[in-house]
Amino acid sequence: MRLGVYRFLTTVALPLIAYSGWKRCKKHKSQCKQYPDLPPIHDCFASRFGRNRQRYQTGGIWIHAVSVGETRSIFPLLNALKEAHPDLPLTVTNGSTQGAIQALQFAPVEIQHQMIPYDFKFAVNRFLDQLQPKLVIMVETEIWPNLYQACSERDIPIVLVNARLKEKSFQAYKKWGGKMLKDALNQARFIAAQFPVDAQSFEALGAEPQKIKTLGNIKFDMEIPAGLLEKANEWKAQNELQKRFVWVAASTHADPNSPSQFETSEENKMLQAHRQLLKTHPDALLILVPRHADRFGEIAEQLDQSTFKWARRSQKQAINSDTQVYLADTVGELMQWFAACNAAFIGGSLVPFGGHNILEPAALNKPVISGPHFANLNALYQTFITEDAITLVDDSQALGQTLTELASNPELQKNAGERAHQAFEHNTGALKKLLAEIKPLLD
């Protein structure tokens, strides 16, 4: 595909793109009314077209991270950039409202924020006129031809960091990207690939080999928030959980093939596994953390209809000695649940979604469990599989059996957590390498 064809097709699709964005922003606005702790996203819809009423500090660094995982991964980068360049304003954009919530609530340094403008020439140029960045950093697989072209024309360095390509994305780019994609990749000053397989994929799509640098995954350089372990231990003590087996089911999903059916959802599979665990460990507690806030109410209704004794975080319901399930229907507390648990299951993997980040529980010395669907993070998973640092299960029965074994054997828990942490430690250092590559672009 060529850039002119891309611009024509996206212009034709503009009404659908606009409607989708408007709908997401409206949904977030209604969620803010339901959950007052959620931060508002100012000019949520208008900013997608480069319109924003806030006055930006100019001449800084613009970092774009599309959603939740990518946003959390840039927090150490934000800290490092602020420390190295304290006078440069940092602007973060997101492509999803969930990612925006993470940035607005939990960014470790002061940031300017808006939703990323859609990749229309007029929207991109309007935003660049407002921001006038000194450097643009795109995270993971954010390749927007009009944006890359505009930065090239203005001589603004743009880099693609923590870059990776899922197999599905690679095949789609290979089929449809053509000269337009090749030009965009080569307009980047460099591409910092996570793993060698990612570097090979970018080269196969036309990126010049000298532009590709395999630096590793900056997610491995995550920082444990100060006081996190103390806060988690205090929470466990308040709820008398020190002697109970607590496991987290994190970022669980509906089944993409039947999203309206709770029976096929990952949450239902978690409850089935927990029911199996309760047969031998009747005081075990499941902390259930659905991935998307708009499903909190649905999961609560299903728990009401079940025989489980459960409590709800958002309503500050107490955990009693007979509480079996704790619905963690809040945003931004996942690290606390990981810190408080004895084992962690990572969702999006027992339904065909493709998996989520396994690094946070590993950094906290927790046994890590996943289903077989991890195509989105295959290279990352393979590093853990090679080091026997993750347990893969095929269904809820196997998950229940794994949890039972961990609950019955504290030594097994300890060893599994240590192997996960060692795999995490063996892959750190990408952030330092990335900062060294960025430095000449800012000096």
String of DSSP letters for 80-105? HHHHH-TTS-EEEEESSHHHHHHHHH
Contacts (Cβ under 8 Å, ≥6 apart) of 13:
none
Instruction: Give the SS3 label for residue 247.
Output: strand
Asked if 112 contacts 54 with a C-beta cutoff of 8 angstroms, the reply is yes
Instruction: Give the SS3 label for residue 68.
Output: helix
Whole-number pLDDT of residue 225: 84
Strand partners, 346: 250, 370
Whole-number pLDDT of residue 37: 84
Residues 383, 307: Cα–Cα separation, whole Å: 40
208 is an active site residue: no
Q: Is 208 exposed, middle or buried (0-12, 13-18, 19+ CB in 10 A)?
A: middle
Q: Is 261 exposed, middle or buried (0-12, 13-18, 19+ CB in 10 A)?
A: exposed
Whole-number pLDDT of residue 294: 87
Percentage helix, strand, coil for the chain under 3-state DSSP, each rounded to 5: 50, 15, 35
The conformation of residue 41, written as its DSSP 8-state character, comes to -
Paired tokens of 302:
């299903």
Residues 406, 413: Cα–Cα separation, whole Å: 5
Whole-number pLDDT of residue 36: 85
Residue among 70, 142, 266, 267 flagged as catalytic? 70
Other CB atoms within 10 Å distance of the CB of residue 315: 9
Residues 284, 269: Cα–Cα separation, whole Å: 16
Amino acid at position 97, single letter: T
Whole-number pLDDT of residue 14: 96
Whole-number pLDDT of residue 443: 83
CA angle 139, 252, 407 (to 5 degrees): 115
Residues 371, 376: Cα–Cα separation, whole Å: 13
Sheet holding 368-370, edge to edge: 310-312, 325-327, 285-290, 246-252, 343-346, 368-370, 391-392
| Helices 410-425 and 378-386, axial angle in degrees (round to 10) | 120
Whole-number pLDDT of residue 223: 82
Whole-number pLDDT of residue 171: 93
Whole-number pLDDT of residue 75: 94
Of 226, 248, 260, residue with least CA distance to 368: 248
Whole-number pLDDT of residue 260: 86
Asked if 170 contacts 96 with a C-beta cutoff of 8 angstroms, the reply is no
Could you read off the pLDDT tens digit of each residue along the chain, which spans 443 residues? 889 999 999 999 999 999 999 999 999 999 898 888 889 999 999 999 999 988 999 999 999 999 998 999 999 999 999 999 999 999 999 999 999 999 999 999 999 999 999 999 999 999 999 999 999 999 999 999 999 999 999 999 999 999 999 888 999 999 999 999 999 999 999 999 999 999 999 999 999 999 999 999 998 998 888 899 999 999 999 999 999 999 999 999 999 999 889 999 999 999 999 999 999 999 999 999 999 888 999 999 999 999 999 999 999 999 999 999 999 999 889 999 999 999 999 999 999 999 999 999 999 999 999 999 999 899 899 999 999 999 999 999 999 999 999 999 999 999 999 999 999 999 899 999 999 999 999 98
How many Å is the maximal CA-CA distance in the chain?
65
